[in-house]
Each structure stands twice: as C-alpha cells, then as structure tokens.
Amino acid sequence: MVWDDKQHCAVTASSSPVSSGETLTLGRFTLPLPARPLLMGVLNVTPDSFSDSGRFADPDAAVAQFGRMVEEGAEIIDLGGESSRPGAESVDTGEEWRRVGAVLTRVAANSPVPISIDTYKAEIARRAIDSGAVMVNDISALRFDPEMARVVAETGVTAVLMHMLGTPRTMQQNPEYHDVVAEICSFLEARAQAALAAGVPKEKIMVDPGIGFGKTLFHNLLIIGRLKEIVALGYPVLVGASRKSFIGKISGVDESDRLEGSLAAAVLAACAGARIIRTHDVRQTRRALEVCGAVLHPARFTEN
C-alpha cells in the first residue's frame, strides 16, 4: 500500500499473504486470514505514551505515522487517546476526543484498513464509530462504562474484551492470582457472555489476555506459555506484548530497545493460535510472522 494524506491510498503490486480460506469482517472491510496473525498497528496520540514519549500527539505526526504503518503492512490500526500505562491518570472525554478526533476525521473515510478505537468510554466509542471506526478495543471488557455494551451492540462493530485487574492507575500494585491463566479464561468467558447478553453477536467478539495489565513478569510469561488455553475459549485472541515492561525486565533494556523481545513474544503467540498481534513495529513483526506462518502451515505455500 502507498498512503498519501491528500491522495489517500493506492494499492501497488506486491506479494500477498497466503490465505487460510477464512475471512474476518470489520465494518466495510473483509480481511482474508493469512497463515500468520493479522497485524494491528498501535497509534497512541497521547503526550504520555510509554512507548513513544508522545511523538504522535501532534495530529500531523499521527497522520504521517498512520500512513507509514499502512505502507509497512498493518491490516488494522488501533487509535488511542488516553494512556493505559501503569499508573496513568484518566483524561476527560473532551480531551480524549480532541486527541483522537483530530486524526480520525482525516484518515477514516479513505483508509485502506479498518480502524479500531482504543477506549473504554461509550461516548468516545460512538463518536469514533460515527467517524469511521469499525472496532472498539476496550481495556475494561465493557465494564467501566455501563453504556459501552449497548453502543457496541447497536452499531454492530467488533469488540475486543481485555482482562485487567483494577485500573491503569492501580493495576500493578501487587497483582495476585491463584492460577493466572485459569482466572483470565474465566473472566474473558464471563465478559463474552455479558456481551452476548447485551446483543453483541459472537462473531463480533475478540478477547485479549491483557499482558502487562495487572500482571507480574511471571504472570506474563505464563500467559504466553499457556496461550492455547485462552485460544480454546473459541474467540479470536488478540495479543499485545509489544515493548511491554516484562521484556525490559528480561533483557535489561528500555522501551526504545525491545524489538527483538517483542518479536519473540509475537512469534510464540502466533504459534499458540493468536489471530491478531498488536504491535508498534509493523514491518519487522510482519516479516517475523510471515516466516512463522510458513513454518506452521507449509502446505499453503509453494516454492518459487
């Protein structure tokens, strides 16, 4: 893909991923599911993002980054206007919309890829959907705002339900579990059932174990190592380990130097059955996962 903010997007000749024959429908988009997971590019338009130090808080910078991620092969873009890093304070609805609306209104109408809105506020979700978003990525799994489930059901968008202990402000204050993976499975199944009861179709539900959201290093390692148990719930699983602090704890590096660890986590998640990988580094993650997918499904590829 080639992106131009004025000319929008033109598809150029390139090799396409080999499809598994299945598709994922997100609004007006029908995405073939390749042998690897789909790539969700992270676009945080906050001044206090843990991963990019507010580099994309300016709308022009954010639109340019949107285009870069499309060109690098992102199949979904996740747009967020409130930081969910450990200890983060919430922002009011007006400020959150000022941040995301300034970008969404410039890219959504002619975007070549689906746009997800990363929010737990129903008003932000509805305004984003009205502006062209086709997915709601809710870190609270529809719990923090009692109107969110109704918005998702009425608009027909896809919802990502994520597991988290507490809130971003409190989640890393000594998180404890008896069996972290079993408890995540129980939580996600309960939240999926709540979404179904609110009128959200099963095919519009995805789940996310919430790596780094109320988990220790040990918990995060168990989640990745036992991800197949979460996949067995029967909902597409999204994994977002990109640049997370547990990688830094293992490797002894800061946010700007966690690429290799992020790729390792992405490949392990893909091997366990994750269907979407949320990443800050689209090009590198896509290349790693294309090799992973080829190894896992060699019959879908032919030698040149």
Containing H/E element for 104? helix 93-107
Tell me whether residue 189 is exposed, middle or buried, using C-beta atoms within 10 angstroms of its C-beta: 0 to 12, 13 to 18, 19 or more.
middle
- Find residue 208's DSSP bridge partners: 162
- Active-site residue (options: 243, 244, 258, 286): 244
- Find residue 80's DSSP bridge partners: 44, 118
Residue 215 annotated to the active site: no
- Active-site residue (options: 36, 215, 275, 278): 278
Residue 68 annotated to the active site: no
DSSP-based three-state secondary structure for 168: coil
**Residue type (1 letter), 62:** A
Q: How far is CA 285 from CA 69, 87, 96, 134, 146, in A?
A: 11, 28, 29, 23, 35
φ and ψ at 278, to 5 degrees?
Answer: -90, 125
- Which are the catalytic amino acids? 244, 278
